């Protein structure tokens, strides 16, 4: 029995009184607290509640962009994660991405322990509303953890009570996407049914004064859950999670958000440190009280050090250029008349993306002057050849990405300062940030209204509500001065336009990674990326543009990469305990 208990702990959690992410309780003699004492003191129980949600993964980095077709990491030739990702066809035993499996189940067990035992609370120095708020936190993070498990594995074990050492596990079964989605939404509805009182710090509010847990986040998670469950990767014939079902949930979520004051950020840039309101939004200081920023629904921690870690070679104090936008991403930005550069149905004529299939209806794009007349979001997101280095000095220093320029493309495998693709990331970077002035750079938001609009647009399009899909896509475009989509687009045409809009509006926000997987198109996006090598004719001053391949990313278009594998050790444990093979399809 001792052996079984050890397996149980490894499979589902660590002991609840000794979590790995944080110190849980005030130490008693010998550093331990009896579980029965947890419910006898306010600080004991509140400390337990404070561990709920530890180790949760939020979108606070740019790490996913260079794993997909948005960017190439500069450290792509000298070993490490990105070199391996580009060159190795992984097995389940050496898959390099952390799935969060252990930490999610650790936290789920802590949550189950709390929710099934909190009736034992015996202290009286706590408000009833705070007790309810603690329950909201538990249910909300349980929903979040199951969403992540559903998204990454397409299956999970749903449990609401802690397993005991005598459990045989014979009846423990994996739940499918529909079952997990139902459970997530049930948890979120519980949260949304809790007391709402904006004047009390201990109720589940729309404006809690922090990004921590607000009612908007529950609506975001509910809408995302329905959209994912309806997507091609997850949908199973006969499931209630049709696109129409997802559309209705996303529609209600957006209506609730708008009714409670959320709107697209439209503040005009100040002091010429940003190009437009879109650019300004991504460097705007954290504003959890929503005094100005009413677009961010759920934020994250500190700002990125763009000037240092995702830097131009001409930046003082830089350590690396980090990630380099691909030509594929640059190709997605339309011209200012609203016409795509490429034919969205078949953007390239060859497998390696070296032969662009130009949109015959686009009369503004000039391959000899490729960066003119583009969507304003392009200029706020990408440093390209001859881009102004500072917005408040448009005629001053220029970024020269041509061979031999001050930020020129480099073939030196050991250089981490110079672009691999001919581009650098500008989004989130503030001109004021430097080693002397500190960081004024922006952050990757976990959830914002523009994403919700595009989620609704996608669900509406797939469900056949083309006018609604068009309207919400146009709201996002209107914010940056892009023209509305043409009337009369077919469902197939509108689908391609919405997907392209997501790629542009949400660039580098770790959403593309999920999108191409739930759409099941990684065979079209993940294996081949390109850059732009620019040379300058010194006699004429003319630039010559040549697309080039960054090589084939080994087998990354294979269907097994749609989901995460379980570790082989975990698979063997559960095979022994349940008799079933829990390994993710494709990773057997």
Tens-place pLDDT, residues 310-341: 999 999 999 999 999 999 999 999 999 999 99
The CATH 1.25.40.900 portion of the chain extends over 212-298+443-519
| Cα gap 143→187, rounded to integer Å | 6
- What is the pLDDT, as a whole number, of residue 301? 64
Q: Are 105 and 172 in contact (CB under 8 A)?
A: no
Q: Cα–Cα distances in Å, from 287 out to 376, 381, 507? A: 24, 22, 22
What DSSP line would sit under 474-532, residue for residue?
Answer: HHHHHHTTPPPPPTT--HHHHHHHHHHHHHHHTTTTT-HHHHHHHTT-HHHHSSEEEEE
Token pair recorded at residue 455: 């989620």
DSSP-based three-state secondary structure for 125: coil
pLDDT band for position 34 (cuts 50, 70, 90)? confident
pLDDT at 88 over 90: yes
pLDDT band for position 14 (cuts 50, 70, 90)? very low
- Return the CA Rg of the chain: 25
Determine the average pLDDT of the residues in 521-526: 97
The rounded mean pLDDT for the chain is 91
Q: Which of 231, 224, 229 is nearest to 250 (CA)?
A: 224
DSSP classification of residue 549: E
DSSP-based three-state secondary structure for 533: strand
pLDDT band for position 42 (cuts 50, 70, 90)? very high
pLDDT band for position 21 (cuts 50, 70, 90)? very low
Determine the average pLDDT of the residues in 42-61: 80
Nearest-10 Cα torsion for 325, 328, 330, 333: -140
- What is the pLDDT, as a whole number, of residue 324? 98
Q: Which CATH code is given to the segment(s) 212-298+443-519?
A: 1.25.40.900
- What is the pLDDT, as a whole number, of residue 9? 33
Token pair recorded at residue 220: 């975001």
**In a 10 Å sphere around its CB, with 0-12 CB exposed, 13-18 middle and 19+ buried, how is residue 562 labelled?**
buried
Give the torsion sign (CA, 153, 49, 58, 281): positive
The CATH 1.25.40.890 portion of the chain extends over 1-57+100-205+564-588
| Cα gap 507→70, rounded to integer Å | 7
Token pair recorded at residue 183: 């459970």
| Cα gap 445→262, rounded to integer Å | 15
Element holding 497 (H helix, E strand) = helix 491-505
| Cα gap 107→15, rounded to integer Å | 11
- The tokens 């702990």 sit on which residue? 9
- What is the pLDDT, as a whole number, of residue 399? 98
- What is the pLDDT, as a whole number, of residue 319? 95
Give the torsion sign (CA, 294, 295, 297, 302): negative
Give the torsion sign (CA, 281, 66, 325, 478): negative
- Note the pLDDT tens digit of each residue in 279-299: 999 999 989 889 999 999 988
- Note the pLDDT tens digit of each residue in 170-185: 888 999 999 999 999 9
- What is the pLDDT, as a whole number, of residue 499? 98
pLDDT at 30 over 70: no
Residue 21, C-beta contacts closer than 8 angstroms, at least 6 positions apart: 51, 54, 55, 103, 106
pLDDT at 202 over 90: no
CATH architecture observed for domain 1-57+100-205+564-588: Alpha Horseshoe (1.25)
- What is the pLDDT, as a whole number, of residue 58? 61
pLDDT band for position 55 (cuts 50, 70, 90)? low
Q: Cα–Cα distances in Å, from 466 out to 130, 452, 469, 485, 498? A: 44, 17, 5, 11, 11
- What is the pLDDT, as a whole number, of residue 33? 62
- Note the pLDDT tens digit of each residue in 247-259: 999 999 999 999 9
pLDDT band for position 28 (cuts 50, 70, 90)? very low
What are the helix (H) ranges across 297-375?
A: 306-309, 327-331
Q: Which of 314, 280, 283, 480 is nearest to 389 (CA)?
A: 314
Q: pTM for this structure?
A: 0.93
Q: Are 87 and 413 in contact (CB under 8 A)?
A: no
| Cα gap 479→265, rounded to integer Å | 8
| Residues present in the chain in total | 588
């Amino acid at each position: 029995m001792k052996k079984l208990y050890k397996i149980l702990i490894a499979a589902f959690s660590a002991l609840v009184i000794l979590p790995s992410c944080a110190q849980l309780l005030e130490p008693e003699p010998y550093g331990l607290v009896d579980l029965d004492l947890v419910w006898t003191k306010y600080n004991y129980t509140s400390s337990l509640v404070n561990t709920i949600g530890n180790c949760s993964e939020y979108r606070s980095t740019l790490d996913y962009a260079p794993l997909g077709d948005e960017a190439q990491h500069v450290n792509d030739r000298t070993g490490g994660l990105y070199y391996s990702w580009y060159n190795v066809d992984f097995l389940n035993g050496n898959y390099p991405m952390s799935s969060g499996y252990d930490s999610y189940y650790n936290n789920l067990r802590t949550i189950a322990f709390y929710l099934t035992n909190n009736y034992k609370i015996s202290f009286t120095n706590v408000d009833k509303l705070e007790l309810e708020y603690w329950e909201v936190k538990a249910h909300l993070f349980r929903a979040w953890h199951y969403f992540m498990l559903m998204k990454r594995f397409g299956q999970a074990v749903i449990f609401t009570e802690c397993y005991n050492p005598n459990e045989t596990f014979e009846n423990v079964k994996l739940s499918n996407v529909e079952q997990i989605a139902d459970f997530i939404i049930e948890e979120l509805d519980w949260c949304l049914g809790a007391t709402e009182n904006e004047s009390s710090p201990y109720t589940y509010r729309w404006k809690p004064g922090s990004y921590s847990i607000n009612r908007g986040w529950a609506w975001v998670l509910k809408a995302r859950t329905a959209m994912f469950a309806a997507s091609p990767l997850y949908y199973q014939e006969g499931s209630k999670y049709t696109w129409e079902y997802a559309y209705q949930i996303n529609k209600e979520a957006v209506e609730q958000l708008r009714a409670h004051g959320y709107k697209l950020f439209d503040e005009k840039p100040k002091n010429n440190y940003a190009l437009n309101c879109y650019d300004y939004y991504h460097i705007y200081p954290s504003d959890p009280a929503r005094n100005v920023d009413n677009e961010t629904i759920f934020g994250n921690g500190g700002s990125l050090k763009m000037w240092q870690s995702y830097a131009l070679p001409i930046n003082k104090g830089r350590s690396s250029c980090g990630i380099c936008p691909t030509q594929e991403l640059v190709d997605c930005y339309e011209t200012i008349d609203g016409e795509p550069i490429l034919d969205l149905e078949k953007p390239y004529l060859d497998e390696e993306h070296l032969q662009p299939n130009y949109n015959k209806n686009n009369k503004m794009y000039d391959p000899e002057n490729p960066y003119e007349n583009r969507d304003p979001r392009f200029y706020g997101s990408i440093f390209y050849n001859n881009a102004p280095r500072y917005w408040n000095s448009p005629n001053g220093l220029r970024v020269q990405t041509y061979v031999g320029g001050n930020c020129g493309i480099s073939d030196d495998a050991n250089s981490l300062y110079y672009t691999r693709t001919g581009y650098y990331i500008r989004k989130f970077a503030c001109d004021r940030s430097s080693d002397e002035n500190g960081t004024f750079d922006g952050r990757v938001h976990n959830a914002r209204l523009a994403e919700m609009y595009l989620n609704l647009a996608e669900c509406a399009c797939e469900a056949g509500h083309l006018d609604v899909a068009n309207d919400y896509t146009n709201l996002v475009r209107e914010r940056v001065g892009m023209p509305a989509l043409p009337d009369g687009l077919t469902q197939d045409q509108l689908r391609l336009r919405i997907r392209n809009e997501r790629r542009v509006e949400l660039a580098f926000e770790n959403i593309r990674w999920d999108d191409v997987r739930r759409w099941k198109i990684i065979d079209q996006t993940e294996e081949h990326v390109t850059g732009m090598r620019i040379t300058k004719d010194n006699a004429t001053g003319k630039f010559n543009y040549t697309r080039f391949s960054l090589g084939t990313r080994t087998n990354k278009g294979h269907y097994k990469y749609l989901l995460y594998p379980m570790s082989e050790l975990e698979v063997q444990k559960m095979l022994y305990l349940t008799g079933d093979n829990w390994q993710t399809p494709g990773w057997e």
